[in-house]
Structure 1
Amino acid sequence: MNERSHRSSRVNAVGGLLVLTAAFAVAGVYHAATWDRPHREAMVAMLVAVYLLSLLIVALPPSLVFATRRRRVGIAAFWNLVCVALVAVSAALDGGLRSPIAAMMFVAVVFASVSYASVALVAAVGFAGLASTVAVGALVGGASWPYVTMFTSALAIVAGTCVWQAHMGRRRRRQLAEASRTDPLTGCLNRRGFVEQYERAVSEAERTGTPFALVEFDIDGFKEVNDVYGHEAGDRLLVQLVRRVRGVLRSADEIARLGGDEFVVLAAGADREGAQALVERIERALSPQTGSIGVAVYPHDGRTLDELYRAADAGVYKTKRSRRSEGKGTRTPGEAN
């Protein structure tokens, strides 16, 4: 996990501690006001034990407690299930579902839904809360079956709503993440999305020892399209050309728009020969338009993104200079069909 993820997990832990502090303060007042009733010492001892456990989780270094997603979800699940168990046992000791403590089960379920991105975790907490409530109502007694049915039904509705909310929240986060990494016109990756894919490609290349290639290209004469036909026609042309280029890419290849008519394809596992074959396919896809194309292969042409980009960019400009020196010029694209 990175530092940002550590901070986010730490905020969740601190938030959980604050909610727990408020809930325990309310429970403490209730226990003090009803101290003449049975099991108060045991109930207070459980409150203190769970609170100390929460303090320990918050006090430990985030890099230790939240080192991996599995550990983060595991600790969150453990802590929430401990809180559910505390509410269930305390309610049972206090007379069953008629105890005001039983209402704290709603707090545990709702807190999980607003604090965690894992739908499975929220569902697990909701199911545990519902199962515990049904068990307390069935085994302890103290409440009529209509009351038990109403209480558990209300909790089931709240738990189901929380799971749905967690699901929709995850869906919205995915949509926002996709939008932040995607060019809105062409659907290609934007610069941010491309950098993330590049970092993954480097990790894979280092792990397996296989190369990958960057194939950069732009559209010859694209400025004239915007000047003569307008930007709307230029946009339609880009969308059309990107669709055709996508048709010649492999499923593992990623295409990004870095700006204007500048694109780059990240070809996983491609060596120089494979990159050249990709260049030929891109040229056929762009036809009858022409594009200036440059290639860089990791790690032969560089190990950093800047080094590879400069190498590919040099190839693009070399193509342009070669065409000018040969007197061929460039083909000005017509308006997209």
Structure 2
Amino acid sequence: MKLKWSASAVLAIMSGAAHAQSSVTLYGAIDTGLFYQSTSAASYATNAKNQGHIYTVKDAGLYGSYWGIKGTEDLGGGYKANFRLQGIFNSGSGKLGLGDTTGAATLFNMQSTVGVSGPFGSIDLGRQFTPMIYAMADTDVRAAEYFGSIYVAWLGMNTAAHWTGTNTNLPIGGLFDSYAIVYQSPKFYGTSFALEYAPGGVPGQIQGGSRESAVLRYSNYGLNLAAMYYNAHDTNLAAATPTGLDNNRLYYLGAKYTFHGLSVSAGYGIGENPSDRGATNIELISGGLGYQFSPFFTLTSGFYYLRDRNEPANHSSEYALGAECSVSKRTVLYAQMGYVANHGTMNSPITFGQPVAPGVATTAAMLGIRHSF
């Protein structure tokens, strides 16, 4: 009898816990297509050799394939407790995405957060997207897609700063930050801001491995404006002992305006190593034009220019054009084309995950499908 009561009590407790959790959702997306590129390289090294054209099935023509679990519990009074676990994977091979450390498999490499939201805004703790990437996406007609966008141009800044492409610990800015604390304010007449601080956790070094950023955004009447500052210490020095060196800084200003389906955008950024600007000091200029012909069909285009401010011979100009057709609520067919003219040692890519040969012109095209669930 006692055993039966204990089992009933456990079931009651579990039932109550499940009832208290407002929602738990499994979600994700798979994005795959046929890809062609006229040059290729074995790495993002600025002296990598041209291995010739490449034709393959490739992941991420619009954005990366990912899956995740998220949940929300209503705490009452407009407050909620939230969690999110999200990881990227390669749809072509099934391999997991990059982590902070080269060679380390990371299951939830995009987001693994817990936090609270309410009338004050939200606070999330853990590995998560940096506020800067939202600011850049909001002010780019091509919405920071993985093919020919402000996101890819920013990756070009990193390859020029000798990023190896084998981890997410970048020399200029950051897409994901681990151990981060991010506050997002509510909107006030279209204006909001976000603050990030990620302590490095290095013994004896308050600044060792730490990151901080701030973003100010405005979104109203079809106009998006963004100003962003990102700063990090001991970035991309996995083999070195952290010392608190301030060596990663990115400034960005951007704007996008949409009127009756027509969108235009412009952006300007500077990425540098504040401890050695003679080593890294890169300028970014972007522009975009797009038109939504219907709720189901959109054309977008973008131009992205990078210049090494220390060596003017190193520069690149990238052009991208894309068409997206929504055939259902969850499925999108797309076509992408891109061209980049790299000069000097510049090796700006056209799409994420596929290096190009440095110092030469490259074209790329992709036809694909993206399905969300």
Q: TM-score if structure 2 supplies the norm length?
A: 0.24
Which structure is higher in helix share?
Answer: 1
Which structure is higher in strand share?
Answer: 2
Indicate the structure (1 or 2) with the bigger Cα radius of gyration. Answer: 1
The structure whose RCO (Cα within 8 Å, separation 6+) is larger is 2
